[in-house]
Amino acid sequence: MKQIVVFDTGTGGRIFAEHFRKTLENVEVVEVIDATNAPYGNKTADEIARLTREALRDYLGTDALIVLACNTATAYAIDGLRASYPEQDFVGVEPAIKPAMKLTKNGKIVVLATPLTLKSTRYSELLDDASDNLEIFTPNCAGWARKIDAGELSEQDVVNALSPFRAENPDVIVIGCTHYLAIPESIFGRIFPGVSVYSPLESVAARVKALLRQQ
């Protein structure tokens, strides 16, 4: 039976693992949750790369398919892992700018991500590939991941961060941190009526399925 290892620092990884258990057949889904060092969003790039490797050490160099269900770990660790273990499959999670470009009708999208993800080279590369006509708004989501893990993120926290962009009328929200999948989409709809919310769950699951078929 193929082993899929889902790595994260908390809630997002658990959501991904549960989704895989429901949608994938004949696989063993293992959760590797580095709650001890959470959140990664306030650490340096070198720390993130080191902590990710340490958390996954029992699975690196094996035939396990590893999913980095953490945007920050993807941004700062996945390239090094792929270089060190070229025979192993790694799937990362990145803010879905390209899919959002296909969804938006007015060219205005909101990206919800940690400050460190937004500062990463990988995110800059995604922006470079985006249409010049696309307007991207990035609310301050600092501290959200920690609050979500603790069950402390309130609807008012979300409203306070997103309300300054109401006048822009964005029509797509990109979930750029897997922890934020725990936020009910209805909250986003109350702030931006009619908004579409792009979740990475389906696209990552499709990538995993494709790799499993190849193997």
Catalytic residue positions, numbered: 70, 177
Q: Could you tell me which residues come within 8 angstroms of residue 111 by beta carbon, excluding any fewer than 6 positions away?
A: 95, 97, 100, 118, 136, 137, 138, 174, 176
Beta sheet of 108-112, edge-to-edge order = 135-137, 108-112, 172-175, 196-198
Helix axes 11-23, 201-214, angle to 10 degrees: 50
Q: Which residues are 65's β-sheet partners?
A: 4
Contact between 24 and 209 (Cβ < 8 Å): yes
Among 90, 93, 132, 98, smallest CA distance to 114 is for 93
Q: What is the DSSP letter of 177?
A: S
Instruction: Give me the count of residues in the chain.
Output: 215
